[in-house]
Amino acid sequence: MDSTAATSLATVWDEVFGSQPDPDTWVVVATMVAALAVIVPHPVWRLSRNAITIAHEGGHGLVALLTGRSLSGIRLHSDTSGLTVSRGKPTGLGMILTAASGYTAPPLLGLGGAALLAAGHITALLWLATLLLVVMLVMIRNAYGALTVLVTGGTFVAVSWLAGPQVQAAFAYAVVWFLLLGGVRPAFELQAKRSRGGAGDSDADQLSRLTHIPAGLWLFLFHAVSLCSLLAGANWLLNL
């Protein structure tokens, strides 16, 4: 490797894994407000929830692979529902962890992102998110799902390569706020559906059948993970 190539590689390494300065406090607060603006209004949420579904189904898929299951594919639907199919033992710890990872994935990803931002690793967060989306795209098995992941991944690539440091920082903080705040709402939506007698095959109900633990307790776990992640993540983002 010649010196020019080595220098270029070192520069890229420093840009990705080095630390960047924290944005001003008003930027952090503004991105939180922007995230709330696409989460709270129901008409907007019907569109933005697709991003939460990507994280939800990606969580199922990642944990399935980590627990030794065979991942058959992931489908994302226009009604913001999704389906992850894995093969392996239909019971046991691997199946339990896979089923439990959907509702917990978005807030935990947000918490991990908040930790990276608190450490100043803005560029690393953007590149890592892009890598995860590329890996997920390989497992998508329907056109709408592929389009959704491509658009999302393309946005990350465009910001990572074309935007300046301030725009990158604002975008990264907005994404993490969205995962933290948006990760709270699905558990409440599931609770509302179950109270009306719906969602009989939800993740909580599947976990109940697998563990003989009431679905309500699994729903409580989803709430606990999302709310605790939000509190801890907000503490890091706001530098309290």
pLDDT digits (tens, 9 = 90+) for 34-77: 999 999 999 999 999 999 999 999 999 999 999 999 999 999 99
| Residue-level pLDDT at 197 | 83
Q: Is residue 180 part of a domain?
A: yes
Q: Is residue 209 part of a domain?
A: yes
Residue 116 has pLDDT above 70, yes or no: yes
Q: Is residue 38 part of a domain?
A: yes
What average pLDDT does the segment 86-108 reach?
Answer: 95
For residue 198, what pLDDT band results from cuts at 50, 70 and 90?
A: confident
What average pLDDT does the segment 110-134 reach?
Answer: 95
Q: Among 10-24, 161-175, 213-227, whose mean pLDDT is lowest?
A: 10-24
Cα→Cα distances 240→21, 25, 210, 234, Å? 17, 11, 40, 8
Q: How far apart are CA 50 and CA 101, in angstroms?
A: 17
Q: Is residue 199 part of a domain?
A: yes
Residue 15 has pLDDT above 60, yes or no: no
Tokens describing residue 236: 């890091």
What average pLDDT does the segment 75-95 reach?
Answer: 94
Q: How far apart are CA 233 and CA 215, in angstroms?
A: 27
| Residue-level pLDDT at 16 | 59
Q: Which domain holds residue 179?
A: 23-51+107-237
**What total of structural domains would you count in the chain?**
1
**DSSP codes joined into one string, 92-123:** SHHHHHHHHHHHHHHHHHHHHHHHHHHTT-HH
Q: How far apart are CA 109 and CA 129, in angstroms?
A: 10
Share of the chain above pLDDT 90, in %: 84
Summary mean pLDDT of the chain: 92
| Residue-level pLDDT at 9 | 47
| Residue-level pLDDT at 201 | 87
Q: Is residue 165 part of a domain?
A: yes
| Residue-level pLDDT at 199 | 74
Q: Is residue 218 part of a domain?
A: yes
For residue 11, what pLDDT band results from cuts at 50, 70 and 90?
A: low
Q: How far apart are CA 171 and CA 93, in angstroms?
A: 37
Q: Is residue 56 part of a domain?
A: no
Angle CA(64)–CA(56)–CA(135) in degrees, nearest 5?
Answer: 60
Residue 8 has pLDDT above 80, yes or no: no
Share of the chain above pLDDT 70, in %: 92
For residue 190, what pLDDT band results from cuts at 50, 70 and 90?
A: very high
What average pLDDT does the segment 130-134 reach?
Answer: 95
Residues 6 or more apart whose CB falls under 8 angstroms from that of 229 comprise 107, 108, 110, 111, 180, 183
Cα→Cα distances 22→8, 25, 53, 88, 135, Å? 25, 9, 29, 44, 29
Residue 196 has pLDDT above 70, yes or no: yes
User: Do 106 and 183 touch, CB atoms closer than 8 A?
Assistant: yes
What average pLDDT does the segment 203-225 reach?
Answer: 96
| Residue-level pLDDT at 10 | 47
Q: Is residue 102 part of a domain?
A: no
